[in-house]
Amino acid sequence: MKFPCDRFGVELHLHLDGAFRAETIYKYAVAKGIKLPSTCPTAFKDYLVIRTPNSLLDFLGSFDFILPAVAGDPEALTELTVQCLEDCATKGGLCYVELRFSPHLLSGPTLSPEMVVKTIIAAVDCGSKKYNINVRLILCMMRHMPEHSAEVTRLAKCYQNHGVVAVDVAGDDKPCDGTNTAPEIKQAFKEAKNGGLHRCAHAGENGCAASVTEAVNDMFAERIGHGYHILDEDEVYDDMKQRNMHFELCPLSSKLTGSVVAEWEKHPIHRFIADNVNFSINTDDPTVTGQWKVDEEKMLKTFACLTSDQLEAANLRAASAAFLPEGEKEELMNHVRSQSLACRTDRH
pLDDT value, residue 109: 85
Q: Hey, which residues does 97 pair with through a beta bridge? A: 11, 135
pLDDT value, residue 64: 94
pLDDT per residue as tens digits for the range 157-204: 999 999 999 999 999 999 999 999 999 999 999 999 999 999 999 999
Q: Hey, which residues does 280 pair with through a beta bridge? A: 248
When pLDDT is cut at 50, 70 and 90, the band that residue 346 belongs to is low
Alpha helices in the chain (DSSP H): 22-31, 41-48, 56-60, 63-70, 74-90, 113-131, 149-158, 183-194, 210-219, 234-243, 251-256, 268-274, 286-289, 293-303, 308-321, 326-347
When pLDDT is cut at 50, 70 and 90, the band that residue 348 belongs to is low
CA 184 to chain centre: 23
Residues marked as catalytic:
205
- Residue 42 belongs to a domain: yes
Q: How far apart are alpha carbons 132 and 343 in whole angstroms?
A: 20
pTM over 0.85: yes
Q: How far apart are alpha carbons 52 and 103 in whole angstroms?
A: 30
pLDDT per residue as tens digits for the range 13-27: 999 999 999 999 999
CB 283 within 8 A of CB 251: no
**Measured between alpha carbons, how far is residue 59 from residues 42, 138, 203, 220, 228 in Å?**
19, 21, 16, 28, 17
Q: Hey, which residues does 167 pair with through a beta bridge? A: 139, 199
Percent of the chain with pLDDT over 70: 99
- Residue 3 belongs to a domain: no
**CATH (domain of 258):** 3.20.20.140
- Residue 45 belongs to a domain: yes
- Residue 1 belongs to a domain: no
pLDDT value, residue 134: 98
Q: What are phi and psi of 107, to 5 degrees?
A: -80, -40
Q: What is the mean pLDDT of residues 34-43?
A: 95
Q: pLDDT at residue 1 above 90?
A: no
Q: pLDDT at residue 345 above 70?
A: no
- Residue 77 belongs to a domain: yes
- Residue 108 belongs to a domain: yes
Q: How far apart are alpha carbons 157 and 168 in whole angstroms?
A: 13
pLDDT per residue as tens digits for the range 103-112: 999 998 889 9
Residue range of the domain that includes 243: 9-347
- Residue 4 belongs to a domain: no
Residues with Cβ within 8 Å of 22's Cβ and at least 6 positions away in sequence, in order, are 41, 44, 45, 48, 287
Q: What is the mean pLDDT of residues 137-153?
A: 98
CA 65 to chain centre: 20
Name the least confident of 52-61, 74-83, 265-274, 337-346: 337-346
Q: pLDDT at residue 241 above 60?
A: yes
- Residue 2 belongs to a domain: no
pLDDT per residue as tens digits for the range 205-232: 999 999 999 999 999 999 999 999 999 9
pLDDT value, residue 60: 87
pLDDT value, residue 57: 83
Average pLDDT, the chain: 96
Burial environment of residue 337 by CB neighbours within 10 A (0 to 12, 13 to 18, 19 or more): middle
Q: What is the mean pLDDT of residues 129-146?
A: 98
Structurally, how many domains does the chain consist of?
1
